[in-house]
A = this chain, B = another copy of it.
Amino acid sequence: MYQLGIVKRNIQRADRSAVDQLANFGSATVHEAMGRLGLMKPYLRPIYAGAHVAGTAVTVLLHPGDNWMMHVAAEQIREGDVVVAAVTADCTDGFFGDLLATSFQARGARGLIIDAGVRDIKDLTAMGFPVWSKAISAKGTIKATLGSVNITVVCAGAVVHAGDVIVADDDGVVVVPAALAQQTADAAAVREANEAAKRAKFAVGVLGLDLYDMRGTLAKAGLKYID
């Protein structure tokens, strides 16, 4: 009835400059800069440590056990995109492996976020193509059912519109709505600047109790010290 069997070709990608600025920050900083919103669930994990990408979302909606739309999505990828794959029901199958990764990478994709499984992880690691997934599984898929590309999806608990910014690192995956990309980058920069100063103080033994001036509030809340 709606949304299945559709490919949106012209999507409004977030401003490239803002995306590049967001690439300087980790997912935790970006999520805080968003007002503590926009995170995908923590069950999504990178297939190798140390990957850190920012890019614009090409979304794909899949059915359990069926990766047909991944090939349809490949054509919509432009340089700097990150593919975000949602599934209509829980599934851990390996929807994606080294062949699709070769294709995605050749089209300019910086990574894949998938609310399901992935395989060929040794190859993907060697290729430097990062994937955040909820499972690693050798289980293959079929190509029989239509999903959609570039519609709004829910991936690991977060709403993603085509063109939104994805920032992913060892801590997780955060989605920044395209319209908020620049202001989020600005807020993240402010936050990061503040943190450097704090880190220096913590390193010489200053306590958060004093740095954040918490002792009064804690006492007022009723905290009691016992010897």
A residues sitting closer than 8 Å to B (CB atoms) are: 1-10, 26-28, 31-37, 39, 41-42, 45, 49-50, 52, 63-66, 68, 70-72, 74-75, 88-94, 97-100, 102-103, 106-107, 117, 119-122, 125, 135-140, 142-146, 152, 154, 157-159, 169-172, 174, 177, 180, 183-184, 187, 195, 198-199, 202-209, 212, 214, 218, 221-227
CB closest chain-B residue, reference A3: B37
The answer to whether A227 and B9 touch across the interface, beta carbons within 8 angstroms, is yes
Q: Is A10 a contact partner of B227 (Cβ separation < 8 A)?
A: yes
Chain B residues, Cβ within 8 Å of A142? 63, 144-145
Question: Cβ of A183 and Cβ of B35 under 8 Å apart?
Answer: no
Q: By the criterion CB–CB under 8 Å, are A37 and B218 in contact?
A: no
Partner of A171, one of B63, B94, B172, B202: B94
Q: Is the CB of A6 within 8 A of B120?
A: no
Q: Are B120 and A171 in contact (CB under 8 A)?
A: yes
Q: A92: which of B89, B107, B144, B145 is its contact (CB, 8 Å)?
A: B89
- Nearest B-chain residue to A101, judged by Cβ: B202
Say whether, besides A89-B92, A90-B91, A99 and B218 are in contact (CB < 8 Å): no
Picked from B70, B98, B146, the residue with its CB within 8 Å of the CB of A218 is: B146
Contact at B106–A205, with CB atoms within 8 Å? yes
Residues from chain B with a CB closer than 8 A to the CB of A224 are 5-7
Residues of chain B contacted by A157 (CB below 8 angstroms): 154, 157
Counting from the closest, the 5 A-B pairs by CB-CB distance are A71-B208, A42-B137, A64-B65, A103-B202, A28-B138
| Contact between A99 and B4, CB atoms less than 8 A apart | no
- What is the distance, in angstroms, from A194's C-beta to the closest C-beta of chain B? 10
